[in-house]
Amino acid sequence: MEASSNHSTFLQFLLFVDRRPASSEKIRQIRQYLERKQGSSSIGLQVIDVGEQPSLVEHFRLVATPALVKIYPEPQQVFTGENFLSQMETWWPRWQQVLTGVPALMPASEEDELEETQT
């Protein structure tokens, strides 16, 4: 898994962390998760120390760390908090659908929620 700036990668993420000891564990968890999901597709992950790049924190309007920003494919999404791995798991089929054009199987309850937000 490598950081990439071109949009030919499957997914591109920015992981914003601070220098707390828990941040290194979160980085390890995210890398392991993405490596399991990678398969034959390419995934870009760039780890950003918020103390070293505060302008990026401001640009993405982040208020908490750790924060994971999916920058490609659009739309941009921001995941924060202790459970963003489960949030990513929920979104993974939808991202694949966008990239492949093949409809993802979604539980009926999620389809209902999606329809409600679109109306």
pTM above 0.85, yes or no: no
Secondary element (H or E) of residue 104: none
User: 114 near 106, Cβ under 8 Å?
Assistant: yes
Looking at the predicted structure, is the pLDDT value of residue 85 above 50? yes
Residues in the chain: 119
pLDDT single digits (tens) 39-82: 656 789 999 999 999 999 999 999 988 999 999 988 899 998 87
The CATH T-level fold of domain 11-118 is: Glutaredoxin (3.40.30)
* Integer CA distances (angstroms), 98 to 52, 61, 101, 102, in order: 33, 25, 5, 8
SS3 call for 62: coil
* Integer CA distances (angstroms), 57 to 4, 7, 65, in order: 19, 22, 10
